[in-house]
Amino acid sequence: MMKSLLCWPEPVIRVQSLSASGILEIPERYIKSPSHRPSLNNDVSQPQEVDVPVIDFQNLFSSEQGLCDEALRCVHNACLEWGFFQVVNHGVSHELMKRTSEVWHEFFNLPLEEKQKYANTPATYEGYGSRVGVEKGASLDWSDYFFLLLMPLSLVNQNKWPATPASCRELVAEYGGEVVRLGGKLMKVLSMNLGLEEDSLLNAFGGEENVGACLRVNYYPKCPQPDLALGLSPHSDPGGLTILLPDENVAGLQVCKNDSWITVKPVPNAFIINIGDQIQVLSNAIYQSVEHRVIVNSNEDRVSLALFYNPKSDLLLKPCEKLLTKDRPALYKPMTYDEYRLTIRTKGPCGKKQVESLKSIRQSD
């Protein structure tokens, strides 16, 4: 279906251009329904920030068993209680993180005609975009983005990546390689915490050579009415893990916890990790993906880099046999990631409706 959609159902408007035009009121398409707007009890330009768990990643591989066990416990508890955590001392160069973020700031500040060379379509989403779902007349988010593929290598085409700034392709390749490696290590940690062989989750994703990885660079322009809009609507991530490099200087990411939206306070040089729907399926809901969204503000633009670490797209995914018991049978029916992500690519972000719809009806023996 998606392959046949070669263009968007209506003209694409770049949100950055709307923001730069000096409008005082946002178009109706970007106004969220009252129940989905950021809380008016707080000034959205000064959101209340909360510390999500911070894990010292190097301790997970420490020769001191006590440090290692404590770090594993911290990750396990964060996955159970939050579905989100931050990692420091993760092995990715801080300088590389900084330079990669800066080069994307430069890209989004290029003239529109330069960025338009990379305009994307619904067929692959790769390239410069401003919407996700293809439904005509859908509510839109206050953001632009650049989406590109990093893994498997057989699908990578660097000609689809920005040639300007000149260092962009080289930095993205280096950054992608480092963060994908981090993703593989995280998968081993989650496997161990679930009581599985350390390569179990990675193998379920197709193994190191076959995992899917893609980068979505998000650009959230200044918004004249931030209390009415969202940079990204509530959703859980459809893939495996998300490794986010946030904007340290501008708050934006909000996580739903205990039915309240809380703003994540980024730690310098940390990645924010969150559990995706496919880990929820494989773990049979021991670990659950969590709804999150992005708020915008009237004073600052914001750039974040989300690397999605995903299963091989045509593999059937289902709960790991070792995690099933008579009292806790498989909660999800098998499905490929290709089939699964079709919904978000059609309708756009939709909370946790998609993963909940997978739940299988328990059969009587």
| pTM given for the model | 0.92
Q: What is the mean pLDDT of residues 77-88?
A: 96
Residue 342 has pLDDT above 80, yes or no: no
Residues facing 257 on adjacent strands: 260
Q: Report residue 341's pLDDT band, with 50, 70 and 90 as the boundaries.
A: confident
Widest CA span in the chain:
64
Residue 179 has pLDDT above 90, yes or no: yes
Q: Report residue 132's pLDDT band, with 50, 70 and 90 as the boundaries.
A: confident
User: Are the C-beta atoms of 297 and 205 separated by less than 8 Å?
Assistant: no
pLDDT score recorded for residue 363: 37
pLDDT score recorded for residue 282: 97
81-110 exposure pattern, b = at least 16 Cβ within 10 A, e = fewer:
ebbbbbbeebebeeeebeebbebbeebbee
Q: Report residue 4's pLDDT band, with 50, 70 and 90 as the boundaries.
A: low
Residue 129 has pLDDT above 70, yes or no: yes
Neighbours of 285 (CB within 10 A): 17
Q: What is the mean pLDDT of residues 304-330?
A: 95
pLDDT in tens, 32-41: 999 889 874 4
Identify the residue whose tokens are 């994540």: 264
Instruction: Say which range, 153-162, 196-205, 281-290, 336-345, has the weakest mean pLDDT.
Output: 336-345
**In Å, how far are 107, 168, 197, 248, 359 from 101, measured between CA atoms?**
10, 10, 35, 11, 38
Residue by residue, DSSP assigns 172-211 as HHHHHHHHHHHHHHHHHHHHHHTTS-TTHHHHHTT-TTT-
Q: Does the CA dihedral 101-174-14-20 come out positive or negative?
A: positive
Residue by residue, DSSP assigns 235-304 as E--SSSEEEEE--TTS--EEEEETTEEEEE-PPTTPEEEEE-HHHHHHTTTSS----EEE---SS--EEE
pLDDT score recorded for residue 354: 58
pLDDT score recorded for residue 359: 66
Summary mean pLDDT of the chain: 90
Neighbours of 140 (CB within 10 A): 24
Residue 364 has pLDDT above 50, yes or no: no
Q: Report residue 107's pLDDT band, with 50, 70 and 90 as the boundaries.
A: very high
Structural domain 36-42+55-358, CATH architecture: Sandwich (2.60)
pLDDT score recorded for residue 360: 53
Q: What are phi and psi of 157, to 5 degrees?
A: -130, 100
Q: Report residue 356's pLDDT band, with 50, 70 and 90 as the boundaries.
A: low
Instruction: Say which range, 52-61, 114-123, 133-142, 305-314, has the weakest mean pLDDT.
Output: 133-142
